[in-house]
Structure 1
Amino acid sequence: MGTPSADVEQYLDDLRHPLKDGVLRLRAAVLGCDAGLGEHVKWNAPSFCRDGRDLVTFRLHPRDRLQLVFHRGAKVRADTDGFVFDDPTGLMTWLAPDRAVVDFPDLGAVAAHEAQVVELVRRWVAT
C-alpha cells in the first residue's frame, strides 16, 4: 500500500464535495495499487507521486464531477514526443500527448470503473 499523508487526511476531513465518497474510494484504491506511491496536496487536491514526481492528481472543480488527471509532472518533459500510453479502457481523455483525464460524473461511475482505473494507474506509474 502507498504511504498516506497527514496533510491529505486533513484536507479530506475538511473537504465539502458532493462526490467526496468517490474521492475517498479512489484514493484508497490508488494507494492500494502501488506500495511506492506517496501523496500530498497539489493544485488544491490530493495528488499521488513517486520519488517526488507527481503522476496522478485529483481535479475536484467544477463540483459536479471529479476527475483524475494522469500527468508526468507539472512541466512538459523533453521526451514527450516519444511518449506512448495505450488505454484499452477508453476512459482517458487526452489533453496533451502526455496528459489525460478520467471523468467520474457520479458515484456510480467510480464504482463501475474503479478496477480499470487502478490498472491504468499501475501502468502509468510504471512508465
Structure 2
Amino acid sequence: MAKATKLSDEEQVTAHIQQLEPGLRKIVETLRIIILSTDKEIGERIKWNNPSFYYTGEMKPFDPKEYKREIIVFNLFKGRIMLVFPSGAKINDSSGLLEGDYKDGRRLIVFKDLDDVQARKKILQQVIKKWLELVEK
C-alpha cells in the first residue's frame, strides 16, 4: 500500500487556490505571483485556512504569538479580496494602501478586482519591501 505523501507548502497553496471560484482564483493567483516575486526570501503556506506569505530568512528569537515572521495573510471570506498584514502598523506607508487602525497592529488592503490589483501592484511591492526592511535579523 502506497503511503500518502504530504503536499509541500507550495502545493497546498496551489490546491487551495484551485478550489476558488474562477474569477477570484485569477485575482488570488496574480497577487500570489506579485508577492512572491517581490523578494526571494518570501515563502508561502496555508495558515488560518488561507494562503499566507512569510519571511523565510534568519531572525532574532521572538515570541511566536507576535507573528513577526508573517507578512501577509489572505482573507477571502465571502469572496472578498483582502490582504491582512499582521504587523502592518509598523510600516511607514505614505501611499495610503494599508487601511485600518487596529489595536493589534494589523493593517488591511482590500482589492476590488484584477484591474485594481494591477493598478496598485507597484505600491503593494513597495509596502512589502518596507516590511522586509523592518525585520530584526
Could you state the TM-score of these two structures normalised by the residue count of structure 2? Answer: 0.73
Classify the secondary structure of the residue corresponding to 1:94: coil
Distance 1:17 1:55 in 2: 25
How far off is 1:16 after superposition?
2.3
Aligned length: 114
Q: Which moved more, 1:8-17 or 1:28-37?
A: 8-17
Classify the secondary structure of the residue corresponding to 1:103: strand
Matching residue within 41, 47, 65 for 1:42? 47
Relative to structure 1, the CA distance from residue 104 to residue 126 in structure 2 (aligned partners, 3 Å threshold; closer, same or farther) is same
8 Å Cα contact 1:58-1:68 kept in structure 2: yes
Matching residue within 38, 56, 68 for 2:83? 68
Corresponding residue number in structure 2 for 1:80: none
Which has the bigger relative contact order, CA under 8 A and spacing at least 6? 1
8 Å Cα contact 2:91-2:127 kept in structure 1: no
Matching residue within 15, 26, 41 for 2:31? 26
How far off is 1:48 after superposition?
0.3
Q: Structure 1 residue runs of 4+, over 6 Å off?
A: none
Bigger Rg, structure 1 or 2: 2
Corresponding residue number in structure 2 for 1:9: 14
Q: 1 or 2, which has the higher strand percentage? A: 1
Distance 1:12 1:84 in 2: 29
Distance 1:31 1:48 in 2: 8
Q: Percent identity?
A: 29
Distance 1:84 1:115 in 2: 19
- Give runs of aligned pairs for residues 98-109 of structure 1, distance below 5 A: 98-109=105-116
Q: Deviations 1:80-106 (Å, cap 9, x if unpaired)?
A: xxx642112111112425210001012
How far off is 1:47 after superposition?
0.3
Could you state the TM-score of these two structures normalised by the residue count of structure 1? Answer: 0.78
How far off is 1:110 after superposition?
0.8
Q: Quote the RMSD (CA, aligned, Å).
A: 2.2
Corresponding residue number in structure 1 for 2:117: 110
Give structure 1 stretches of 5+ with no counterpart.
73-82
8 Å Cα contact 1:95-1:101 kept in structure 2: no
How far off is 1:53 after superposition?
2.2
Corresponding residue number in structure 2 for 1:58: 74
